[in-house]
Chain A
Amino acid sequence: MDSTRRSFLKILGVTAAGLTVRPSADAWALGAKPRGAAPLDNALVGKRWAMVIDLQKLTDKVRKDAVEACNRAHNIPHYENHDDEIKWIWEEGYHNAFPGQHNHHLPVELTRDPLLVLCNHCENPPCVRVCPTKATFQREDGIVMMDYHRCIGCRFCMAGCPYGSRSFNFWDPRKQPPLVNEKGEFDPPSPDYPTRMRGVVEKCNFCAERLAKGKLPACVEASNGALLFGDLADHESEVAKALRSRYSIRRKPDLGTEPQVYYLI
């Protein structure tokens, strides 16, 4: 009696486990691509997107405009508390952006003013290497993307990024200014980009949503020529030419990440 009851319970358990598998097997069957999926007609297509920041043209106004343009374009919330900040592109001191690449005798003009830092869209991105769900991944054109739908919020990528380029939504971004106006209504500055939800990581996406529609990144557009953007695989692109003609540096090049944001000295 005892042994048969036990084996009955075992069979019951296995059956119950089997039932949980069936529905998800159904979902996996839907693998096909959407019909005729293609890029939009006017999309900007590249093989190795890169940004070049000209430190000589980077005035106070340019920096502020670029950051503001990005914040507006991506509905980035503003937090008073430094701990909760969401930053895609922001100002940093020279010594903070380039630790280990300074000495005491650099030109004052170089180190006096802050510069702009953002995700470097590394060729060998450590954040992509550590992500356990492929929520952050590298596109063929080099852009390191976030899939907010898949992110579980483990923040391994934040530990993995050597540039501090990633932010986590500690709170519901929709409840923060400027997404909430003075009257307390949800009133996002940009209708072209969704907000995020709490509990996911976000960062600069090189304005993938704008490239797809034939537009340059918002910060580049607002930079009055101080920020260049283009395809480094194309020898004749503006960025490739600029890098051939002037000396440039990258952040923490010794880590082997191959950043794709270059700073013209």
Chain B
Amino acid sequence: MKIYDAGKVIAGLIIFFVVFTFPVYYNHGKVEPAPKPSLETEKIQSLYEKNCVEDKATMRSGHMLLLDKWRDTVVRDRLRSYAGFKGTRFEMSLSNTCMDCHSNKEQFCDACHNYAGVTPYCWECHLTPKEMK
């Protein structure tokens, strides 16, 4: 088999490979430790039972899906009350429920979001605890 323009093709492939794998070797050996979201807020400390609306594992992996469902349910189905996994009732509200306990947005939300390189646009409209005071 003959490759036409072999020189150009191979050079192109090499350049592609180098660029494509750039993040791998650029970041090699520079592991940043995953941040631990802080639970140190007055409200959480004062709670007798420190439970979120779902268990920790669910919240950690699926809080964005939960919030997405919440917003559709509140806006489109006009239902605002949610039964937490322990049976407690919560208002489905990012600003008023989630951020009421997790009032430390910088240490709780942003730390992980920055680490994971995601920029949720919730805060373009919804108010942060600082903005609400």
Contact = CB atoms under 8 A, between A and B. Distances in A.
**Do A and B touch (CB < 8 Å)?**
yes
Interface of A: 30, 32-41, 43, 137, 139, 141, 145, 147-149, 174, 186-188, 191-192, 194-197, 208, 212
Contacts of A191: 95, 127, 131-133
Interface string B90-133: 01100110000000000000000000000001001111000111
Contacts of B125: 148, 194-197
5 contacts: A36-B83, A145-B75, A194-B125, A195-B124, A197-B125
A257 to B, nearest CB: 22
Interface in B56-84: 65-66, 69-71, 73, 75-84
Between A139, A148, A149, A192, the greatest number of chain B beta carbons within 10 A of the residue's beta carbon is seen for A149
Nearest to A213: B80
Contacts of A137: 76
Nearest to A198: B124
If over half of A's interface residues share one DSSP class (helix, strand or loop), that class is named, otherwise mixed; here it is loop
Contacts of B69: 30, 32-34
B80 A34 contact: no
B124 A197 contact: yes
| Range of interface residues on B (Cβ < 8 Å) | 20 to 34
A196 B103 CA distance: 22
B74 to A, nearest CB: 8
Interface of B: 65-66, 69-71, 73, 75-85, 89, 91-92, 95-96, 121, 124-127, 131-133
B101 to A, nearest CB: 16
Contacts of A39: 78-81
A16 to B, nearest CB: 16
B94 to A, nearest CB: 9
A187 B96 CA distance: 17
Nearest to A146: B75
B70 A43 contact: no
Given A34-B92, A191-B95, 10 more contacts: A34-B70, A34-B73, A35-B82, A37-B83, A37-B92, A145-B76, A147-B76, A188-B127, A194-B126, A195-B127
A38 B79 contact: yes
B82 A34 contact: yes
A33 B126 CA distance: 22
A187 B76 CA distance: 28
Contacts of B131: 186-188, 191
Question: What 10 pairs between A and B have smallest CB-CB spacing?
Answer: A36-B83, A191-B132, A37-B79, A194-B125, A197-B124, A38-B81, A194-B126, A35-B83, A40-B80, A34-B69
B1 to A, nearest CB: 9
Contacts of A139: 78
A197 B121 contact: yes
Contacts of B65: 30
B81 to A, nearest CB: 5
A147 B124 CA distance: 15
Contact of B82 (A37, A186, A187): A37
B66 A208 contact: no
A37 B81 contact: yes
Contacts of A212: 78, 80
Contacts of B73: 33-34, 37
Contacts of A32: 69
Contacts of A40: 80-81, 91
A229 B82 CA distance: 28
A149 B75 contact: yes
A148 to B, nearest CB: 7
Contacts of B78: 39, 139, 141, 208, 212
Contacts of A145: 75-76
Nearest to B76: A147
